[in-house]
């Protein structure tokens, strides 16, 4: 699982994401928690991290190459 969070998001405190990541890890999930310095927006680094995570997932599960 990959999740990206903003350090200054007023909708949900960052501590909640840290606690969720720890809980999921305790249950055996692989968790990547990434932070960006913004607020409540999709930051370019979030898109880059999501693309990298999807490529990693595809490489681990694909039986045929992408076109």
| Pairing of β 32-36 and β 2-6 | parallel
Q: What is the pLDDT of residues 24-64, one digit of tens each?
A: 999 998 888 888 777 777 778 888 888 888 888 888 887 76
C-alpha radius of gyration, the chain, whole number: 14
* CB-count burial class (<10 Å; 0-12, 13-18, 19+) for 6: buried
pTM of the model: 0.60
């Amino acid at each position: 699982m990959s999740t990206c969070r903003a350090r200054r998001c007023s909708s949900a405190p960052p501590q909640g994401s840290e606690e969720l990541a720890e809980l999921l890890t305790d249950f055996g999930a692989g968790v990547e928690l990434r932070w960006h310095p913004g607020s409540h927006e999709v930051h370019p680094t979030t898109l880059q991290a999501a693309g990298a995570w999807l490529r990693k997932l595809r490489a681990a599960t694909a039986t045929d190459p992408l076109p």
